[in-house]
Amino acid sequence: MAFSCLLRSTPAAPLVEASRSDFSPSPSDRFKVSSVSFNSLKSISGTSIPTGSSSLQTCSGRSIQPIKATATEMPPTVLKSRADGKTKIGINGFGRIGRLVLRVATFRDDIDVVAVNDPFIDANYMAYMFKYDSTHGVFSGTIKVLDDSNLEINGKQIKITSKRDPAEIPWGDFWGQYVVESSGIFTTVEKAASHMKGGAKKVVISAPSADAPMFVVGVNEKTYKPNMDIVSNASCTTNCLAPLAKVVHEEFGIIEGLMTTVHATTATQKTVDGPSRKDWRGGRGAAQNIIPSSTGAAKAVGKVLPELNGKLTGMAFRVPTPNVSVVDLTCRLEKSASYEDVKAAIK
């Protein structure tokens, strides 16, 4: 018969008794049970919850006898659905980033977007905005509106919700394990943690964060630890600058540097001259001006590359283009380097 059991293990007593229990922990730690005392089952896998000096662990299997087993830790793995092994993703905020995340995800076979939440647009408008993109063109796949709560993209159903409070989004009901927080609002650990109240296990903030660990792929992603449930993917400029600064610093040593980004128009700018009390220049029409602006990208590099903390500063020019930006990095180096040396290092 099928059973569900609760195991207790401590450093002093790794051999544990198993008994029946209905218990639903958060799968934060994984373990494997071996050396099972009955003949029909060789191992059991499950999850554990730290409880002081010991841990409570649940597992499942088939047996008609009581068991005695030894619990050992297993390396943490990417959470996957029991059904098809794909990583299940939810998206909060269906703006520029949210829509592009979904576009990329629809053409990957290792992940599924299972739900999208946005309190400001309904399913029909979502489908329209997703299919027709002024910058990236028409979506090449198929999209259908099934009803007010469901879209079908490339034959796969996606749940649509419209909650203002992330804590009210039932990610767990949709198997949404990872949430892309792309609303631009919930960018701190405390605010992003609200997603976990609805069943999410991990949150990736698609913007810089004041307190969440920040990662740039190719720079510091290897420092990620499985217990980091909320992380930031930094900004677009930081993702451009950090890999460049990393190579230059490792090869030649950066004493100090100035970054200038020539940045495409963003949604926060005005289409025509309008009020902008905090940033007067920012109130000028985006299509008519090259607008000097501040950027936090240089400081953010210090978070992903601590050895450069305080060594870089930067500024931005907002230019009247809809897409594509460029970063210019000027540095004073510890080692002398020719133009050819720098090119060779970056290549």
pLDDT in tens, 328-338: 999 999 999 99
pLDDT at 84: 74
- Tokens 């198993």 belong to which residue? 18
- Number of Cβ atoms within 10 Å of the Cβ of 179: 28
pLDDT of residue 124: 98
Q: How far apart are CA 102 and CA 156, in angstroms?
A: 12
Residue 149 in this model has a pLDDT that exceeds 90:
yes
Q: Are 87-232 and 236-346 in the same CATH fold?
A: no
The CA distance from 172 to 198, in Å, is: 6
User: How open is the CA angle 82-106-157, to the nearest 5 degrees?
Assistant: 60
In the numeric block, the tokens 């007067």 are attached to 280
Residue 83's pLDDT band (cuts 50, 70, 90): low
Helices (H), 107-165: 123-131
Q: Which phi and psi (to 5°) does residue 303 adopt? A: -80, -35
Beta bridge partners of 7: 18, 57
The domain covering 87-232 belongs, at the CATH homologous superfamily level, to: NAD(P)-binding Rossmann-like Domain (3.40.50.720)
- Kindly tell me if the per-residue pLDDT of 33 is higher than 50: no
* CATH number corresponding to 236-346: 3.30.360.10
Task: Report d(CA 191, CA 25) in Å as an integer.
Answer: 23
H runs (alpha helix) in 115-235: 123-131, 189-192
Provide the mean pLDDT of the chain: 82
Model pLDDT for residues 303-315, shown as the tens digit of each residue: 999 999 999 999 9
pLDDT value of residue 14: 38
φ, ψ (nearest 5 deg) of residue 322 = -80, -20
Catalytic, 59? Answer no
Q: Which of 5, 59, 236, 331 is catalytic?
A: 236
Task: Calculate the dihedral angle through the C-alpha atoms of 11, 15, 19, 24, rounding to the nearest 10 degrees.
Answer: 40
Q: Give CA–CA dist 16/44, Å, rounded.
A: 13
pLDDT over 70, % of the chain: 76
Burial of 157 (0-12, 13-18, 19+ CB in 10 A): middle
Q: Is the pLDDT of residue 50 over 90?
A: no
Q: What are the tokens at 271?
A: 């289409």
Q: At residue 16, does pLDDT exceed 90?
A: no
Give the mean model confidence (pLDDT) for residues 199-209: 96
The encoded tokens of residue 21 equal 């229990």
Give the residue extent of every domain in the chain.
Answer: 2-73, 87-232, 236-346
Look at residues 207, 313, 301, 309 and name the one whose alpha carbon lies nearest to residue 245.
301
